A and B are shown apart, each in its own frame.
Chain A
Amino acid sequence: MTTKIFEDKPGSYALLNGDEAVARGATQAGIKVAAAYPGTPSTEILEALAEGAKDLDIYAEWSINEIVAAEVAIGASMTGVRAITSMKHVGLNVAADAIMTAAYTGIEGGLVIVVCDDPALHSSQNEQDTRYFAVHAKLPLLDAGNPQEALDMAHKAYEISEKLRLPIILRLTTRVAHGKARVKLGEFQRLERKPEFDKDSTKWVMVPANAIRQHRVLESKLSEAKKESENSQFNLVEDNASDIGIIGSGVGYYYARSVLDTSEFSWLKLGFVYPFPSELIKTFASKVKKLIVIEELRPYIEENIAGLKIDFMGKNELGLEEIGEFTPDKIRTALAKLHLTTKPENLQQPPNLPPRPPVLCPGCTHRAFYYALNRIHQSVHCENDKCVGCSICEYACSFEKEGIFNPLKSRIRTARINATNLAFTCRACIDAPCVKACPQEALTQSKQTGLIKVDEAKCIGCDWCIEACPHGALNLHPTTHKPLICDLCNGKPKCVSLCPESALSLRGKTDDKIVAGDIGCYTLGFLPPLKAMQTCLCMGGGISQAAGMIHAGVKDKVFAVIGDSTLFHGGMPGLLNIVYNKANVCVIVMDNSIVAMTGHQPTPGSGKTAMGQNAKTINIESIAQAVGIEKVITVDPYDLETSIQALREAISYEGPSVIIAKRSCPLLIQRGPPREIKKSCNGCKVCTETFGCPAINQTGSKAEIDTALCRGCGVCEEVCPFDAIGRKK
C-alpha cells in the first residue's frame, strides 16, 4: 500500500487503486466509522482505512461477516456520524437482510455501502451485477469507471446520502478496484459531529405499521433521488455534434474511448445509474441518429432505454456477452462490426504452453493436511510405463509374507497385456465388492485404513471374492485355498522398496470420500494433484451441504473442510446445526488464524484487531465444544502421521466431529531450512504427482527443489517414500 493515500495535499496526485481511492474519498468526507469483511476485490478499502485510522481519528474494524459490518455502519450512521461499509458482490448477499430494511429506516449520518463486483470471476464464485440489487433494494447507486471517479464518488456520495436520508451504494468492478491510476486528491472536510441517537422508536422499529409508512417515505425519497441522478456531475455528456452517440458505464466506457477517435462521437458516461436518469438519456438520444450502449455484465442501461422506446444498438448488435469482463480487444471487435474502428490486428494465439494456475503456496499447511486426507486409504500403485514385468515384487512379497520365493504365494501379481507390463494388488476399494461377495462373511474391511482382512476360520475357499474383484487383484493361496490380500506390510510395502525400476509406489486415494469444501485458499485443494475436495458454494456452506448429503442417505463418511475465518463468518450456524440435527459430518477446520487469501487480515483467532490493538483470542476448540461437538481433535498439519491418525479416528467415530488442523500461514513466519533432493532419489514422482509443492518439480530423471521458493516446512521429507529429501547442506 502506498502511504500517500491520506496525504493532506489537495490538488496533488497519487497512484491509487480504486479501493484506495474510495478510502481517500470517504475520509475526505469525514467518516467516523468503517466496517467490512475482507473479500476480493474490495479488501483494500478497509485495509487502507484501518492503516490510516489512528492518524485520521476514525474507527475501523474487520467484522465477522458482511451483515455484521453493515449493521455496525448502520448503527454508527444512526447516531449522526458518517460511516462506510465495503464488501465484494457476494458479501452483499450476506448483508442484504440489513440493507433492504435500512432503505426503509433511512439514515442520520451519511452512509455509503461500497460493493465491488467481479466480472470474469477473477476470485469469486459468481458474476452478479449489483446495479440490479440497487433496483431491488430501492437504493441509489453510483457506478465508478476508474479510480478518480471512485474517489470523487465516495466523497460526494455522503452529501447525496444526507440530502436524501438514504444509504448510497457505490459500485466498483475488479478492473476499477484493482486498477491503479494517477488520481487527483481532494480536500478533507472537518466534521465535528457529536454522536447522538434519536430514540424515536417509530423511526427505527420496523414493525408492519411503521414499515409500511416508511415504504411510502422511501418512494418519495426515490423521486428526489431521480432528480439528483438527472443532474448528477457523474452523468457526464461530451457533445461533439456527432451523429453517433455512445452511452456507457463502468470501465467498458473507457475501453470504448481508448479504441475510438473520441472527437468523432458524442459521449455520455453514466455514473449515477439508479434511479435511471431517463430525461438526460432522452435529451442525449434526441441529438444523435444512432445510439450505442456499452456496459459490462447485464443489460441494465439497455433495458431502461428500451423502456423509453428509444432505438439503440447494444449487446445483441455488437456481439457482446453478459458473461465475463470486457477488454479493449472485445470492444474493438464489437465496434469494428459497425465499421466505427479497425479490427484488432495481431490477435495471434499464444503458443501452447503448460498452464500455471493458482496453486497452494510452497509450505502451505492446507496442502499438508489435504495430503493426509488423501492418505487415509492407500494402496500400492504401479506405473505401467516404468514396469518391466521382472516379477521381483512377487518374489519380495511371497518371501516377506510366506518365507518362500514363490510368485504363486504373492499378494501382488505381474502380467503382460499387449505391450504393457503391469502389477496388480488390492486397491482397498470403497465398499469393497469382495467383502460383499463373500457368502461366509469371512472378509471385513477396516473403516480406518480400507484394508481387507480374511478370517481364515470362516473362509471356505469358494473363490467368490476373486470373481468379484474388478481389478483382478486377489488370488487364492495354492495350498490353503484362502485369498491372498495385500496388507501394505504395516505401511512399508516390501514390493515398493525392492522394485528395481521404481515403478511401484504407495499412494493415497483422492476419490474414496466425499469432502465438501468452502471459500478460502484451501478451495484450491480441489485441483490436481490433490483433488481432495469436491464442492465450493458460499461462505460456510460446506458443513451444511455435507449434512444434506447425509440426510439424503449417503452412507460414506462425509467431510467438510472450512477455514478459521470462514467458520467465524458463516460456518458456526452450520456447526451447531449438525449437532442439533445429528449429521455424522467430520468438520475439518484449516486454522491458520488469519484471512490468508485476501492478504492476511486478522480474525478473532489472531488476537489482533484491524487497527492493530490486542484482542481476546477466540479458540475454535472451545467453540466446537460449546455447540456440543463431543469429538474435537487438534493436530499440527505438518505432522502427517498424527493427522492421518486423527482422520482415521474420526472415520470410525459415530456422530459429528471436528478436527482442527492448526498452524500459522507459512508466509507469515520465518522460512525453515531449505530442503534438497538427495542422490538416492529414484524419480518415483510421489512428491510431484501426489503432493504437488510448487517448489518441487521433475523434468528429468530426478526431482529438484527450487531453494528460492522452498519455505523449509519439511513436509516433503515425510512424503518421500525413499527418504531422498533432506535439509540442504
Chain B
Amino acid sequence: MKPKLDVVFSGVGGQGIVVLSDIFCEAAMLEDFDVAKAEIHGMAQRGGSIVAYARIGARVESPLIETGKADVVVGFEVLETVRALSMLKECGTVIVNMKLIPPSYLSRGVKLKSREELLELLKAKGLVHEVDGTGIAQKLGNTLVVNTILLGALSALPEIPLKAESFQQAITSRLKEKYISLNLKAFQLGRESVQKVKK
C-alpha cells in the first residue's frame, strides 16, 4: 500500500510555486502514486499570496487538504510560510526559505513582525528546516532556482516516500534543456542543506 502524503506549498506569485508542486507530483507518478493537486491561477501574476496543495497516495479523491492535516509545509518566503501554518498537522515538518518579502502596501497601523518573530511561530508548531534558498541560488548565479533548491530539501525529508532519482527525472522531463543541469545542481544543494542538519 502506498503511503499518503500531503504537502502545502506557499509563497508569493512569481516564485515558481505551481511548477514546483507539479514536479513533485510528477515524481510521485513515476513511482505509481495517484496524485491530485489544487492551485488557483488568474488575477495577479506577481506579488499576491499563492498556495498550492499536492497530495499523493494509493488513491486521492480530494485535491484540497484539510486544515491541520498537511504533513509538510514548504514555504518560499517566511511570511507566507506562517500564513500556511494552520494547514500543518501537529509535529509536522516545515521547510522555509529564509527570505522575508514584506507586503508592498501595509495599511496604516498594521505592523509587520520581524523575520525572527515569524520563525518563532513556525518553530512552535513543528520541526523547521531553515534553508537559505536565496543565498544558495545567488551562489549558483540564478535567483530563479530557489524553488528547485526547496524541492531538493523536500526530497531529503525522511517522510518523503520518493527516490531522489524520480525527482531528477521529473525535473529533466519538465524543464527546457538549457536549464536542466543548473536545476539538477540546485536540487542537489537543496538536498544537502537538509542532510547536513540531520547529521
Interface residues of A, Cβ cutoff 8 Å to B: 2, 13, 15, 40-41, 122-123, 146, 174-175, 178-182, 251, 254-255, 257-259, 327-329, 332, 344-351, 353-362, 521, 524, 527-529, 596-599, 667, 688-689, 692-697, 699, 706, 708-709
The docked-state distance in angstroms from the alpha carbon of A692 to that of B104 is 6
A84 to B159, CA, bound (A): 44
Quick one: CB contact mask for B48-79 with A, threshold 8 Å, 1 for yes?
A: 11000000000011111111110000000001
Q: How far, in angstroms, from A554 to B61 measured CA to CA in the complex?
A: 55
Are A359 and B105 also in contact (CB < 8 A) when A354-B110, A709-B46 are?
yes
CB contacts (< 8 Å) of B47 on chain A: these are 356, 358-362, 694, 709
Contact A15–B66 (Cβ < 8 Å): no
A-B contact pairs, 15 of them (CB 8 A): A40-B42, A180-B25, A180-B63, A181-B60, A254-B61, A257-B62, A353-B79, A354-B111, A356-B47, A356-B79, A358-B48, A361-B45, A667-B45, A689-B105, A708-B143
Establish whether residues A40 and B41, one from each chain, have CB atoms under 8 Å apart when the complex forms: yes
Contact A598 B42 (CB under 8 A): yes
- The answer to whether the Cβ of B151 comes within 8 Å of any Cβ in the partner chain is no
Contact of A181 among B63, B101, B111, B112 (CB under 8 A): B63
Measured CB to CB, the nearest residue on chain B to A88 is B42
Q: Is the interface of A mostly helix, strand, loop or mixed?
A: loop
Q: B37's contact among A181, A353, A596, A598, by CB below 8 Å, is which? A: A181
B72 to chain A, nearest CB (A): 15
Given contacts A122-B42, A329-B66, A708-B143, contact A359 B37 (CB under 8 A): no
Min distance, Cβ B186 to any Cβ of chain A, angstroms:
16
In the bound complex, do residue B66 and residue A259 qualify as a contact, i.e. CB atoms below 8 Å apart?
A: yes
Q: Which residue of B lies closest to A665 (CB)?
A: B45
A351 contact set on B, CB distance < 8 A: 82, 85, 121
B43 within 8 A of A: yes
Whether the Cβ atoms of B38 and A182 lie closer than 8 Å is no
Minimum C-beta distance from A567 to chain B (A): 20
In the complex, B36 has a CB within 8 A of chain A: yes
Chain B nearest CB, measured from A704 CB (Å): 9
Please state if A182 and B42 are interface contacts (CB–CB under 8 Å): no
Chain B, residue nearest A259 (CB) = B66
Evaluate contact between A597 and B82: CB separation under 8 angstroms.
no
> Across the interface, do B29 and A179 meet the contact criterion of CB distance under 8 Å?
no
Once the chains bind, are A350 and B85 in contact (CB under 8 Å)?
yes
* Interchain CA distance A497-B8 in the complex, whole Å: 49
C-alpha spacing A708/B77, complex, angstroms: 13
Apart from A180-B39, A347-B68, A356-B47, what 20 extra A-B contacts exist at CB < 8 Å?
A: A15-B26, A123-B40, A179-B63, A180-B35, A255-B64, A327-B64, A327-B66, A329-B67, A332-B66, A346-B67, A346-B69, A350-B86, A354-B107, A354-B112, A355-B49, A524-B44, A528-B107, A688-B104, A697-B103, A697-B104
Q: Nearest chain-B residue to A120 (Cβ)?
A: B40
Whether A359 and B104, one on each chain, are in contact in the complex, defined by CB atoms closer than 8 angstroms, is: yes
Task: Report, nearest first, the 9 A-B pairs whose CB atoms are least far apart.
Answer: A346-B68, A358-B44, A123-B42, A694-B104, A40-B42, A258-B62, A179-B63, A694-B47, A361-B46
Q: Which of A178, A255, A688 has the most CB of B within 10 A?
A: A178
Q: Name the residue on A nearest B110 (C-beta).
A: A354
Say yes or no: A693 contacts B68, CB within 8 Å.
no
Contacts of B48 in A (CB 8 A): 356-359
Contact digits for B95-129, partner A, Cβ 8 Å, 1 yes 0 no: 00000011111110011110000000100000000
Q: Is the CB of A182 within 8 A of B62?
A: no
Give CA–CA (A146, B22) in the complex, Å. 17
Do the beta carbons of B102 and A697 come within 8 Å of each other? Answer: yes
Task: Chain B residues near A348: list those with CB within 8 A.
Answer: 68, 86
**How far apart sit A528 and B105, CA to CA, in the bound complex (Å)?**
8
- Given contacts A178-B40, A182-B34, A353-B82, are A699 and B102 in contact (CB under 8 A)? yes
Q: Is A667's CB under 8 angstroms from B46's CB?
A: yes
Could you say which residues of chain B place their CB within 8 Å of the CB of A599?
41, 45
- A489 smallest CB distance to B (angstroms): 28
- State how many angstroms separate the Cβ of A240 from the closest Cβ of chain B: 15
1/0 per position for B12-43, CB-CB distance to A under 8 A?
Answer: 11100000001001100100011111111111
**Assembly CA distance A327 to B64 (angstroms):** 7
Interface centre among B41, B49, B79 (most CB of A within 10 A): B41
Q: How far is the CA of A122 from the CA of B130 in the complex (A)?
A: 32
Nearest chain A CB to B89 CB, angstrom units: 7
How far does the alpha carbon of A2 sit from the alpha carbon of B21 in the complex, in Å?
13
A354 touches which one: B39, B90, B106 (CB < 8 A)?
B106
Cα A348 to Cα B45 with chains together (Å): 29
In the bound assembly, the distance between CA atoms of A528 and B61 in angstroms comes to 40
A700 to B129, CA, bound (A): 28
Give chain A residues whose Cβ lies under 8 Å from the Cβ of B61. 254-255, 257-258
The answer on a CB contact under 8 Å between A344 and B36 is: no
Which residues of B sit under 8 angstroms from A13, Cβ to Cβ?
A: 29
| A470 to B: closest C-beta gap in Å | 23
**A329 to B62 CA separation, bound complex (whole angstroms):** 11
Q: How far is the CA of A593 from the CA of B41 in the complex (A)?
A: 21
Q: Which single member of A40, A180, A362 contacts B36 (CB below 8 Å)?
A: A180
Most buried by A among B43, B67, B69, B105: B105
CB < 8 Å: which of A251, A346, A527 contacts B89?
A: A346
Q: Does B83 sit within 8 A of A, measured CB to CB?
A: yes
Q: A15-B25, A350-B83, A359-B48 are in contact. Are A524 and B43 (CB under 8 A)?
A: yes
For B69, B82, B102, the residue with the greatest tally of chain A CB atoms inside 10 Å of its CB is B102
Report yes or no: A356 in contact with B103, Cβ–Cβ below 8 A. Answer: yes
Closest partner residue, chain B, to A361 (CB atom): B46
Measured in the bound complex, the distance between the Cα atoms of B154 and A443 in whole Å is 70
User: What is the CA–CA distance of A122 and B51 in the complex, to the nearest angstrom?
Assistant: 13
The answer on a CB contact under 8 Å between A693 and B62 is no
Using CB atoms, name the residue of chain B closest to A325: B64
Pick from A347, A696, A708 the residue with the most CB of B within 10 Å: A708
Q: Residues of B contacting A596 with CB < 8 Å?
A: 45
Q: Is the CB of B68 within 8 A of A356?
A: no
